[in-house]
């Protein structure tokens, strides 16, 4: 096997060790995350007005089905290195699924605090299957994160939310991969924004690659929040965030400053999209390209549609959209909003043909 191939097989730490806070002494806890597909999307590009070179970074193809794994491999490896025994996080679901998996892999205990009743079924199933102590907090994500902050770091406990800098270090590797695949940064990079760690991490990654001479350009960062949970757009925390995109139902993002810096320094834009726009984009990605994402991921696509409508993206632009989580995470949303529903037929050929309309 070539060096390149073995590096890829080893996950983001081995692949990008020189640009991560690790050393030869760091025990690498990996599930071979990263190296996710960057899929060219001409049919979707046409559906959003045409004239764009559109790429989808399919982060749902990570081991636990979301981008969180890139950060979790670094956070859990560093926790193990310093001798922590327990990893703790607050989560709308994906962070808890990832923490539970990487903690299991490392032989560490995992405790997750999730908002009661507001975590998609697939994510809850993941945390439970990996044996995480799963605390359903009577409150929203912001309340759960405040509790985790109070638990704080101790010798035994490592907080693996994105307030842990190791998380953002790992997540920045997605920007490296996009530059590696395209040969340079895209003109625009769209992504959904919740706790605002990922937009912060991508901007860090793009800047570092640029500084290293690995890319010549920098993208404009284009963040999108759900209209019912848009503190960065509205300029103030939202006490009762609400959206169909449960992953980004967050009213007071931890990385507020990082997101602002990414937007301002890149000449980017932050906007908000309604649940109706999110659901339309959710269906469009699946129906035009066969790419099934969770609703929060569709917020970025809804943002692209909005930007095209508003004339913010000139024809000929190279556009990357991060699709943060797999559609299978949230089967309830899919079945509820799918464009078609199953049809029951008798088990005979005539009935099947009739149902097919042939």
- Number of Cβ within 10 Å of residue 89's Cβ equals 31
Q: Is residue 173 involved in binding ligand F0G (CB under 6 A)?
A: no
Q: Is residue 192 involved in binding ligand F0G (CB under 6 A)?
A: yes
DSSP characters over 86-118: EEEEE-SSHHHHHHHHHHHHHT-EEEEEEETT-
Q: Is residue 243 involved in binding ligand F0G (CB under 6 A)?
A: no
Q: Is residue 197 involved in binding ligand F0G (CB under 6 A)?
A: yes
Neighbour-count burial for 279-317, b at 16+ CB within 10 Å, e otherwise: bbbbebbbebbebbbbbbbbbbbbbbbbbbeeebbeeeb
Q: Is residue 47 involved in binding ligand F0G (CB under 6 A)?
A: no
Q: Is residue 325 involved in binding ligand F0G (CB under 6 A)?
A: yes
Longest dimension (CA), the chain: 69
- Return d(Cα 247, Cα 168) in angstroms, integer: 18
Q: How far is the CB of 93 from ligand F0G (least distance, A)?
A: 5
Cβ nearer to ligand F0G, comparing 186 with 192: 192
- Kindly give the pairing relationship between strand 53-58 and strand 38-40: antiparallel
Instruction: Give the tokens for residue 317.
Output: 């632009």
* Interface stretch with ligand F0G, choices 18-26, 45-53, 195-203, 210-218 (CB under 6 A): 195-203
Among 11, 122, 194, 268, binds ligand F0G (CB under 6 A): 194
Q: Which residues pair with 271 in a beta bridge?
A: 224
Q: Considering only CA atoms, give the Rg of the chain.
A: 20
Q: Is residue 281 involved in binding ligand F0G (CB under 6 A)?
A: no
Binding mask 81-100 for ligand F0G (x = CB under 6 A): ----------xxxxx-----
Among 113, 296, 319, 320, binds ligand F0G (CB under 6 A): 296
Q: How far is the CB of 122 from ligand F0G (least distance, A)?
A: 11
Report the interface residues with ligand F0G, using CB under 6 A. 66, 68, 91-95, 162, 192-198, 247-248, 294, 296-297, 324-325
């Amino acid at each position: 096997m070539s060096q390149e191939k073995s590096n890829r097989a080893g996950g983001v730490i081995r692949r990008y060790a020189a640009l991560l806070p690790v050393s030869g002494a760091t025990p690498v806890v990996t599930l071979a995350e990263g190296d996710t597909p960057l899929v060219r999307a001409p049919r979707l590009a046409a559906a959003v007005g045409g004239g764009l070179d559109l790429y989808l970074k399919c982060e749902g193809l990570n081991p636990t089905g979301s981008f969180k794994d890139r950060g979790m491999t670094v956070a859990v490896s560093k926790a193990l290195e310093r001798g922590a025994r327990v990893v703790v996080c607050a989560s709308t679901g994906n962070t808890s699924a990832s923490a539970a998996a990487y903690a299991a892999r490392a032989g560490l205990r995992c405790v997750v605090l999730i908002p009661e009743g507001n975590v998609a079924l697939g994510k809850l199933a993941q945390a439970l299957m990996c044996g995480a102590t799963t605390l359903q907090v009577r409150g929203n994500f912001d309340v759960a994160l405040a509790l985790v902050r109070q638990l704080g770091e101790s010798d035994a406990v490592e907080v693996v939310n994105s307030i842990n800098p190791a998380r953002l270090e790992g997540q920045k590797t997605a920007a490296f991969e996009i530059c590696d695949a395209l040969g340079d940064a895209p003109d625009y990079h769209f992504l959904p924004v919740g706790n605002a760690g990922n937009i912060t991490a991508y901007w860090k990654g793009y800047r570092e690659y640029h500084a290293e001479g690995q890319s010549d350009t920098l993208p404009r960062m284009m963040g999108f929040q759900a209209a019912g949970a848009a503190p960065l757009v509205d300029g103030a925390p939202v006490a009762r965030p609400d959206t169909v995109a449960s992953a980004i139902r967050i009213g007071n993002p931890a990385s507020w400053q990082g997101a602002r810096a990414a937007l301002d320094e890149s000449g980017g834009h932050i906007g908000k999209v309604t649940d109706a726009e999110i659901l339309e984009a959710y269906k469009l990605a699946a129906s035009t390209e066969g790419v099934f994402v969770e609703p929060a991921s569709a917020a970025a696509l809804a943002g692209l549609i909005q930007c095209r409508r508003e004339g913010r993206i000139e024809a000929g632009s190279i556009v990357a959209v991060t699709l943060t989580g797999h559609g299978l995470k949230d089967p309830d949303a899919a079945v509820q909003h799918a464009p078609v529903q199953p049809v029951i037929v008798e088990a005979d050929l005539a009935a099947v043909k009739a149902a097919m309309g042939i």
